[in-house]
Structure 1
Amino acid sequence: MTAALWRSIANARTWAAPCPGSRRTGQFVCPCHASAFERDGELINAPAPRPLDRFAVTIVDGVVLVDTGNAIQRDHTSTDDLVYA
């Protein structure tokens, strides 16, 4: 499964970074405010107000294409956000 997330945190002007051990947990953490996110962008620790934004992903002939021209805001995450190869 594939998801493309924008690491910019809403209203914080900071970036979420892979946390130590992220290969195992898949989490991202804001180094300034300690907001934490699951690998699908779901917010698991405030103060961020919502999940990480995502970008549309398509797979054409085995090539992953990410539309970075339009970030998609979400108030929750969904399995509909994922693309399966």
Structure 2
Amino acid sequence: MLTPLKFGAVGLSELETLDLTRLLSRLHDGTLECPIGPSQLHQAGLSYLVDRVGFLRGHDETTVRAVLVAVIAERRKQDSRVNSD
């Protein structure tokens, strides 16, 4: 269950898709480790997201990946619908 966090109170809707894909990419290449916290974001070069990804804090990598993949997929699906109209 995703819970509110002490840092980064904004939710997924406040993040650009590019930021979500950067997070997923850093997980994939091993530069971002879980559980995600401020120091992990700094080490991964994503310091600018410290106050914006609280919803991912404290979760294991499987959970974080699942959330990111699902949200990115939904946004791409929505974008393709908008672009096809």
TM-score (norm 1): 0.25
TM-score (norm 2): 0.25
